[in-house]
Structure 1
Amino acid sequence: MMITKIYSPAETKKAAEEIKLGELIAFPTETVYGLGADATNEQAVKRVYLAKGRPSDNPLIVTVSSPEMAAEYIADYGQYGEKLIKAFWPGPLTLVFKIKPGSLSPVVTGGLSTAAFRMPENETTRKMIAQAGVPIVGPSANSSGKPSPTTAQHVFHDMEGKIAGILDDGPTAVGVESTIVDLSTSEPAILRPGGIISEQIEKTIGLSVDSDQHKVGANETPKAPGMKYKHYAPAAQVLIVRPNDWKQALAWAGSQSENIGIMAPSQILKGSLPANVLPYDMGNDLASATHRLFDGLRYFDNEQKVNWILACSFEEKGLGAAYMNRLKKSSGGTYFEPQD
């Protein structure tokens, strides 16, 4: 088993050297930690799938240090690509473009003629990529299907001994993955909601954007991550709790013979809780809950080992669309249903 090193933000050159040697390095972004490998090295990219246990038809995001680096591979920006790049790069926005034939391996693209590109806001990671001199693939640095990592410690838990190193730049800020917009067709579409909300996209391009293309069929190859397979799921079964159902949900939890995990807003946790309820505070608002979502799921996976987690829901508007997208995937769309 290899030793997984921890690199500080001052050691980006060392991490970049590992990338150039074909090794895997986890890296920070403003959303979640990614798992990086030289996107032009097919063997290195294959090792990303192996490290994560990820299906090989699930394409990988190509992470770049600059728009100029992405331009080496993009064949067609479409009508809106340059506007969105100017408005939101660097930042939590991934864009799917048609690529130049043969410019990226099918191992990266899932065999498609398109690829997803992202330029993260995190300066440490952009510096590492620039020093490596190549774009890197950047799926989340977790075991496939599990909650995404928002700290270097989360990455170490899943990837120790599987990768060469982790570039540690502290906890991420947003807490859920980037918004993905498909620009490879005549009509732009949001393939995955994230920190850049649909209203921001629409205001920038002056066009209504389809926001309901988050899934693909069993025999289809997805254009972007998170569209086909179960994602973000802890070992426990997650039950989504609607705002008006917390009283009955807590009563149900208290009636169980085992400990029950609760991921709830601060005001819910201020009351008297049943003795067997293990709380995780999601904060006072949607932004806080989104930031803490994956950490909460991992808390109950790695530290408390419960079989059931009750998790708060929010209205599916703005950032709430991203939060609920991840929560529904982690729960399999299962809600707590009060008994009459």
Structure 2
Amino acid sequence: METKIFKKENLDDAVELLAKGELVAFPTETVYGLGAIATKEQSVKNVYAAKGRPSDNPLIVTVANEQMMAKYAKEVPDRAKKLIKAFWPGPLTILLYVKPGALPDAVTGGLPTVAFRCPDDQLTHDLIGRLGYPIVGPSANTSTKPSPTTAMHVYHDLKGKIAGIIDGGATRVGLESTIIDLSVEQPIVLRPGEITPEQLSSVLGEKVLINTGKVSDKDIPKAPGMKYRHYAPSAPVVIVDNPEDFKKINYSEKTGVMALETVLEQLSIPTENKFSLGQDLTAADHNLFGGLRYFDEMPEIEQIFVQGFDEGETSLAYMNRLSKAAAGHHYRNNN
């Protein structure tokens, strides 16, 4: 299969492919998503096949607006309306009860709930608006690999497996959306993102919990990123919690380092073995997946040391993704 690259002026061609049941990757402000019409069961199943994704891992439904979501949600409670007013379009995914039979089990994993997202990206809004249907939108990468933040990342993973990619440039945020579960009595964040629990609590006027539990092998996760290995390059990743510890590591030509610019400046290792996360945590959020992909394309790299952050709720999303990529492996545990 030929994988075509579409620009803004070719959007109708991408719409036509989706309408025919084909898979097309699309940009969002967080990462690139892999699109298929959410009501077409076979197309949705093809998403799992293209990604190599476990079939019991539910998919997010990407909508153009609240009105489109209301066609598929069993109810849109006041809590959801408050969050939509404050954060949509934007990097917030809302888990609600789904209308029975409105979406195939391939989307919901057979659960009575589904996660809805309205991205802050005009190309994607135009795409869904012209299509007239919501689309599923898991990250457009091979399952377990770092999420894609450019069209070329998608092409690297899915060339020949999908019909097209809409190139909207590099994504702004770089980490997937926050997922909040509103199907329960007390709202709970299932996956941290740019929008923090504190911000959600402020809008809702009630405490928002943070999920810290793991999903067992026999259970179906309510949202993406809760059960399976994610974001990992081929080489093992090690989290370095204390920036001073970077000076204690015995580096070789087979070692990669991802850290803030101020840390990298102090290390006498080859430039190609360094990847800058930028000047601060916000930049690190944006650059994390790009760095993991950078070293994943260097087969000679056998270990990657990555800077960790402890900055409260603002570092939750970054550390959530990095911890999964590193399988919880921290440098301090080696001492």
Q: For this structure pair, what is the TM-score category when the shorter chain's length is used for normalisation?
A: over 0.9
Is 2:83–2:203's contact at 8 Å kept on the other side of the alignment?
Answer: yes
> Contact conserved, 1:84 with 1:201, CA < 8 A, in 2?
yes
Contact 1:78-1:184 at 8 Å conserved across structures: no
If the length of structure 2 is used for normalisation, what is the TM-score? 0.97
Distance 1:299 1:275, change over 3 A: closer
Distance in 1 (alpha carbons) for counterparts of 2:193 and 2:41:
29
Deviation at 1:338, TM superposition (A): 7.2
How far does residue 24 in structure 1 lie from its aligned partner after superposition? 0.2
What residue number does 2:290 align with? 295
Residues 268, 47 of structure 1: alpha-carbon distance in 2 compared, 3 angstrom cutoff:
same
Query: How many angstroms apart in 1 are the aligned matches of 2:301 and 2:221?
Result: 33
The root-mean-square deviation of aligned C-alpha atoms, in Å, is 1.5
Aligned residues: 335
Pick from 267, 286, 290 the counterpart of residue 262 of structure 2.
267
How far, CA to CA, are the matches of 2:250 and 2:88 in structure 1?
Answer: 44
- Please give the secondary structure, in 2, of the residue aligned with 1:239: strand
The residue aligned with 1:227 is 226
Structure 1 residue 230: Cα displacement: 0.4
Partner of 1:60: 59
Does the C-alpha gap of structure 1 residues 85 and 305 become closer, same or farther in structure 2, counting only changes over 3 Å? farther
Alignment-derived partner of residue 6 in structure 1 = 5
What secondary structure, in the 3-state scheme, does the structure 1 residue paired with 2:179 have? strand
State whether residues 241 and 332 of structure 2, in contact with CA within 8 Å, keep that contact through their aligned partners in structure 1: no
CA distance in 2, matches of 1:81, 1:276: 47
Q: Partner letter of residue 206 of structure 2?
A: L
- The Cα of 1:291 is off from its aligned counterpart by 0.2
Aligned to 2:131: 132
Matches within 5 A, 1:21-170: 21-170=20-169
Find the counterpart in structure 2 of residue 281 from structure 1.
276
Seq. identity, %: 51
**1:274 Cα deviation (Å)?**
3.4
Equivalent-residue separation in structure 1 for 2:197 and 2:126 (angstroms): 29
Shift of 1:198: 0.9
- Map Cα deviations across residues 102-125 of structure 1 (whole Å, 9 max, x no partner): 000011000001100000000101
Q: Distance in 1 between the 2:300 and 2:65 partners? A: 42
TM-score normalized by structure 1?
Answer: 0.95
> Could you say if the C-alpha distance between residues 171 and 251 of structure 1 is closer, same or farther in structure 2, counting changes exceeding 3 Å?
same
| Unmatched tracts of structure 2, length 5 or more | none
Q: Which runs of 5+ in 1 are unaligned?
A: none
Paired residue secondary structure (2:217): coil
**1:76 positional shift:** 2.0
Counterpart CA distance in 2 for 1:261 and 1:250 is: 14
